[in-house]
Amino acid sequence: MGHLFLIVIRIFLRTIQLVVDYFIHIHVNNVENVDCMLFYHNKLTTTKWGIFLLLLWIMWKSP
């Protein structure tokens, strides 16, 4: 059960990452402000890992 949940979470997070990358790519093509986009991309990646670790911790604590 736990492994299936982890796989679903990973697919979900990967999908979010791909969508974010797609929108950033479109935005970078329209705007010269690449540094700003990279900054937001790094923040989103950090947030994604934070959520992932939080979910792992909840799974570990749950009986």
Say yes or no to pLDDT of 46 above 70. Answer: yes
Say yes or no to pLDDT of 32 above 70. Answer: no
pLDDT at 26: 65
Bigger pLDDT: 63 vs 5: 5
> Rounded CA gap, 10 and 34, in Å?
27
pLDDT at 1: 58
> Rounded CA gap, 13 and 47, in Å?
11
> Rounded CA gap, 52 and 7, in Å?
11
48 with 16: CB under 8 angstroms?
Answer: yes
Q: pLDDT (tens digit, 9 = 90+) per residue, 5-27?
A: 888 888 888 888 777 777 766 66
